[in-house]
Structure 1
């Protein structure tokens, strides 16, 4: 039979009045292009995409005639049992053609997006009468697009944003609730559930999208799906059946997951949504399904041995004593030794004590884990279950279980005494995945179908999971190091730079003509021409693989100098430096026509990870003076400080912050490379993190630099701007008032409240639930075309009170993070002034600072920082009560350090300080401050004011001592003679001696 000419076939599809004829023509096109990239390109040029969009847009959801299903060898369609209507069959064949085009690579995504097909696919997916076969086909197509978008160059990032905005829109997010809530064991339904969960995991990147998933109820439905696996495996806690009617539960145990259900996609999507957010994680743990299978109510412990639901005997009392938990699941986990003795603290983080709060900023978004409480508050049994799954499962399921358990652990939602358990049971499993010969058993849960193997995906992500697990735990870092992690990571990073062999040869295309070249002209409509070809899947895998390795190295080198030495000796520093070379986007014309098998450089996520590794290693004084200099770390870091991406600028500036330390031999290189103007420019950035890192770096550069360098820094920063920064009040009452009004008005906040755009993990003050009626509840009920009608999905989804609490928590976290950022920026700016007026030439710099910032203005600002601020409660639930609020200890410490150096200046500088009407008076209450360093600094101010430089200064010193006595200093000093801090007691003796000598008492 002669094949119709393509233009004629297009006309048959476009103008046919017979649905059967159109279906037949679409099948011919489908068979034409499947597996033939050259034909796909030709059909795009002939205009197939606009025609497909027209067909999809004409779907009305009704038809008169059924057709016999025809799979054409497509195995994914062989499970459909229901005949489809003619219109549904037409739509199906169209979607399969779209999916086949997508399989050609990222170049085909551009015309598909330009042709407006994405909104049409979501419209079909969200229609209430969508046939299960169409649901499966659409989800497969969307997943294929999501898989190939990362292969696209940067210029196609808007296509990824369009896909995410459609998925997480109010119009379509409920569709995923409906799909995930299906319970039918039919292969089509279970495949759709897995695809929907994977699609969420692949596209949910922004905080606002994660908040949408949580607030819309999708996270609760994912928790329900997870609970069905708990039921199927028999891990429902004993006595849970009696608690199903308790408030917050489902009312009955969820059904068991079918045997063909996939656990890994559910775990993966949950991990993506709850990452870096304690409020979302708590929302997940408190979901009705989780509370039902793992009730929080303590279970009665029987004195007799019971047979566990999972077929293992356990003795509850013994289990509780052995593992120090009341969780029966722990009884089947291996017993582990008690916590090991912690090693001594090594070289502290550079940049002062505050550096610990910057650990999580290695990887965006920042994770302030040090602020997360590790109290032994009630723990969900899901932690133990996840550990069991990680040990008993294999492949992708094992890694995803470890990932979720790690997230909960890092957020303080697992008990602190579980550290040895994570170290003995989880760390070895992750390190084993680094082995060169590691092969993941086939568990049916592939990551991205058809691109690279599951084993490669596991090797790609396992290092990042290990990095997250050990990031803030010296003990877990020890487990990883003793398990040989560094040796394996060193071998892996070398492999990531091996060239990719591309043995494929271009296939001759007999249909290639001059007209097809013309189709790629920029003047051709976007839906008729291919986009950039992107990169080979293996090339993108190499960069992701490298990124995870760098993250792991950064985490292991965070605290211990011995571990940093091991990393240096492993020879990875040159590869870290090479990882700082950015990939520069080539022109689109140069890329058309050939898929790049490798990347000349590194994408932004890899650059961020490389900066994190460099920053950790620059904490080693020895390494900074040898290996890092020899490898030439300075040049690539300086280039990245000026990179186009803000996040890369932040990461690179954090490395400069360590390179600028006084003992660093690279401090002169920073000045010589003319980095000061760039850092000063970044200090003015509206991005708070870039501002913080830049000021921090300038503070280090300023210390012990010559006066001309110091003056140059003040000039570039602009004195007026610096004065404005240090004068801001981080305890602004307007922010406090807004927070209190939000707390008191929790009952009036609905789903429309903005939330979580900047959500951080350190939520310390949960808000009480409201109890308003659910009159505004969205209709999230689903239409189940497979199973008989069942209760509304609202049975499983969080009630309005939990949703309002989640929304408000996101806002509160954002406010708290903004306040923390303001405090840190102001602290570093004050420390910068401190470093300006200390060291050689300090007297000249004090005069310079007084002149540039204004003597009176500066001292008034400092005095204002020392005074407690009035605080009034604006809560409508309480009467107005006057209170006071002290400045944060960090600010008080920074201000008193400035006073110490002013008091160490010339006699006229001390005279200016002692004559200020408020400054020393405001300092008096700080002698009894709870923070040791604040008390010590106050004592040093007294010592410096009363220390005689020479005999000519005696009378001035006596006058200053008299003034201090009139302010009550003697009483303050007497109260510190028995202070609990030895350094305070010693400084008190010195201060009292000087005061008594001058006063003659």
Structure 2
């Protein structure tokens, strides 16, 4: 990259002529917005300390220079955690906080607030500075659009936007109970409730988000918010219930989120019917949206229905389970336009699993609905969902066992549909992964070792591989588990299986067939048996395999052979 023009722009920041500085800052701004490479370049040229100096030494600094410098700092903050760390290292946060004072130019206040919003979006950003000096008071003042004395329509719109930024910053800075208390003491509740009826959707959404976080797990503040009257004398809850019917999915989500947090704080017990008939169905409907709304909706739904059997049943009845299960199994399928490639698929999957775990934590309906459906496609999705749930929510293993899940999965292993058979054996394999011996015994009591042996020799290679993986998981990691496998299959049968699979043409089958340290460690006598059967030589030959995983497993196995 030719960096001469960028170095020149950087040098022009030292010009005594404010017009030259502003021109250079605009050039830099236009180059870095949305361009990580250019941002990295300017950071490497040590631009941040120079930008910060425009705020620390205010004498003789043109306001336009500060406005443009704040915009550039904000653009750097949108570049990710490393950039935010660079801004913090060079002391950019405090000068920006000083810029949000009402005595400054409204354009500078807006630019600084926008930069602070980007900085505080980073989870690792230090929030302590905002609670120092008068910065929190300044933010609360900015929640009122009239505080900037707008005269024209354009100025009024800009003032509301600044209020939106202030509310967003507050929402990101109330992570602890102590922070909640400080924000409430500064007078946030009346100002945020007033913003709920300002008529500008983005500002209303920001106010709802801030109120949601201020009452999270805080019954006292939840009740205080409910008792705060708006300028129209309407109850905040009624305002939220009106906003949840807005045509904007984002407005629906943040309204539902705020009402959910108030409900969880036991602040609106008299509105339980509204929660059941309005908030919950809205969240389920939002699962059909795309992008960030769909990503966050399962998380809010999980929080709403947690520990409440009636709401969990309502979620089942609303069809939430199949939608959430579909996210878990198909979220990465980019061929289907329903799935948004711009979203965070891992986060959506995580939130969907969280919601599924919440739905099935207390209700039998939630646990049984996936597997007992008459549709083969639904059963496939159910099995695939269980694969994920039992891995990421280990308490669900016991719940699935208690609700007859093992027996149902074993039944599906016998299906004529190969995909369903595969998903069922996959779910059983995950169920015994790192499980207690009692769970492994329950699985094999239902499945039986003869059936497992048949699956290991199945004509479908994928089923063979998952069945072998199940066998590996059964044999890990306690001596008792290993003995049960030898007892269940018989030593000769087990040796035959290992020998057969090590000769397979399929690399995945070979990897599953290589004896693991957990098995070899159980008894020197068995290692000698394997050596006599020629397994050591077979494993040695695999040290030259093209597949790195095969070589690594072979190396590990040989290290165990060498100990006897």
Q: 1:540 to 1:274 in 2, by over 3 A?
A: same
Q: 1:483 to 1:578 in 2, by over 3 A?
A: closer
Aligned match of 1:469 in 304, 311, 325?
A: 304
User: Structure 1: how far apart are the matches of 2:191 and 2:347?
Assistant: 30
Q: Which residue in 1 is equivalent to 2:67?
A: 92
3-state SS of the aligned residue for 2:172? helix
Q: CA deviation at 1:611?
A: 2.2
Distance 1:115 1:494 in 2: 45
Greater relative contact order, per chain length (Cα 8 Å cut-off, separation 6+): 1
Q: Identify the residue that residue 422 of structure 2 maps to in structure 1.
A: none
Residue 265 of structure 1: which of 185, 206, 209 is its match? 206
Pairing 1:559–2:413 present: no
Tell me by how many angstroms 1:480 deviates: 2.0
**2:23 is aligned with 1:53:** no
Change (3 A) 1:92 1:388: closer
Q: Which of residues 531, 541, 563 is equivalent to 2:344?
A: 541
Which residue in 2 is equivalent to 1:293? Answer: 233
Q: Residues 927-965 of structure 1, C-alpha deviation per residue, up to 9 Å, x if partnerless?
A: xxxxxxxxxxxxxxxxxxxxxxxxxxxxxxxxxxxxxxx
Match of 2:216 in 1: 275
Contact 1:103 1:144 in 2 (8 A): yes
1:494 Cα deviation (Å)?
1.8
SS at match of 2:244: helix
SS at the partner of 2:433?
helix
1:336-355 matched pairs, under 5 angstroms: none
Residue deviations 1:233-276 (CA, integer Å, cap 9, x gap): xxxxxxxxxxxxxxxxxxxxxxxx25577311111110111011
Output the CA distance in 2 between the equivalents of 1:460 and 1:101.
26
**Structure 2 match to 1:124:** 99
Residue 561 of structure 1 contacts residue 620 of structure 1 at CA under 8 Å; is this kept in 2? no
Q: Deviations over 1:333-384 (max 9, x none)?
A: xxxxxxxxxxxxxxxxxxxxxxxxxxxxxxxxxxxxxxxxxxxxxxxx4434
SS in 2 for 1:412: coil
Change (3 A) 1:672 1:552: same
Provide the rounded CA distance (Å) in 1 between the counterparts of 2:341 and 2:239.
34
CA–CA separation in structure 1 for the residues paired with 2:41 and 2:75: 14
The alignment of Structure 1 onto Structure 2 pairs a total of residues equal to 419
162, 165, 168: which one pairs with 1:195? 165
Cα deviation digits, residues 730-772 of structure 1 (max 9, x gap): xxxxxxxxxxxxxxxxxxxxxxxxxxxxxxxxxxxxxxxxxxx
Q: CA deviation at 1:291?
A: 9.9
Greater helix fraction, Structure 1 or Structure 2: 2
Partners of 1:419 and 1:476 within 8 A in 2: no
Q: CA deviation at 1:146?
A: 3.8
Question: Are the counterparts in 2 of residues 427 and 466 from structure 1 also a CA contact under 8 Å?
Answer: yes
Q: 1-side partners of 2:427 and 2:323: how far apart?
A: 25
Task: Give the match's secondary structure for 2:300.
Answer: helix
- 1:623 corresponds, among 371, 393, 405, to 405
Question: What does residue range 922-961 of structure 1 map to in structure 2 within 5 Å?
Answer: none
Partner of 1:391: helix, strand, or coil? coil
Does structure 2 conserve the Cα–Cα contact (< 8 Å) formed by 1:564 and 1:620? no
* Corresponding residue for residue 13 of structure 2: 13
| Aligned equivalent of 2:193 | 223
CA deviation string 1:452-497 (max 9, x = no partner): xxx4111112222222333233333222222211111111222334
**How far apart are residue 124 of structure 1 and its match?**
2.0
Go from structure 1 to structure 2 and tell me whether the alpha carbon gap of 1:384 and 1:565 turns closer, same or farther (over 3 Å shift).
same
1:166 aligned partner: 129
Q: Which residue of 1 aligns with 2:244?
A: 390
8 Å contact 1:143–1:199 — kept in the other structure?
yes
Cα distance, 1:193 vs structure 2? 0.8
Q: 2:433: which partner in 1?
A: 635
| Residues 575, 621 of structure 1: alpha-carbon distance in 2 compared, 3 angstrom cutoff | closer
**Rounded Cα–Cα distance in structure 1 between residues aligned with 2:478 and 2:173:** 40
For residues 120 and 616 of structure 1, what CA distance do their matches in structure 2 show? Answer: 54
TM-score scaled by structure 1?
0.38
Give the match for residue 327 of structure 2: 492
Q: Measure the CA separation in 1 of the matches of 2:166 and 2:393.
A: 35
1:611 matched to 2:393? The reply is: yes
Equivalent position SS for 1:293: coil
Secondary structure of the residue aligned to 1:263 is: helix
Kept after mapping to 2: 8 A contact 1:285/1:291 = no
Contact 1:573/1:631 (<8 A) preserved:
no
Shift of 1:38: 2.9
> Is it true that 1:429 corresponds to 2:282 in the alignment?
yes
For 1:612 and 1:132, locate their aligned partners in 2 and report how far apart those are by CA, in whole Å: 53
Shift in Å, 1:613: 7.6
CA distance in 2 between counterparts of 1:392 and 1:104 reads 32
How many Å apart are 1:128 and its aligned residue? 4.5
| TM-superposed deviation, 1:56 | 2.3
Q: 1:260 to 1:469 in 2, by over 3 A?
A: closer
Q: 1:281 to 1:143 in 2, by over 3 A?
A: same
User: Partner of 2:307: helix, strand, or coil?
Assistant: coil
| Equivalent residue for 1:137, pick from 97, 111, 119 | 111
Uncovered stretches (5+) of structure 2, i.e. residues with no partner: 373-378, 410-425, 446-472, 481-564
Summarize deviations over 1:16-73 as a string: whole Å, max 9, x none. 333333323333333443454333322222221221122222125xx6xxxxxxxxxx
- Deviations 1:563-603 (Å, cap 9, x if unpaired)? 2011345534544654787xxxxxxxxxxxxxxxxxxxxxx
Change (3 A) 1:613 1:94: farther
**2: CA distance, partners of 1:612 / 1:180:** 44
Instruction: Name the CA distance, whole Å, in 2 between partners of 1:666 and 1:165.
Output: 55
Tell me how far apart the structure 2 counterparts of residues 211 and 663 of structure 1 sit (CA, whole Å). Answer: 52
1-structure distance, mates of 2:213, 2:433: 35
Query: Does the 8 A contact of 2:291 with 2:343 survive in 1?
Result: no
Distance in 2 between the 1:412 and 1:663 partners? 43
Q: 1:181 to 1:567 in 2, by over 3 A?
A: same
Deviation of 1:220 (Å): 3.6
- C-alpha separation between the residues in 2 aligned to 1:383 and 1:182? 22
For the residues of structure 2 that align with 1:170 and 1:615, how far apart are their CA atoms? 51
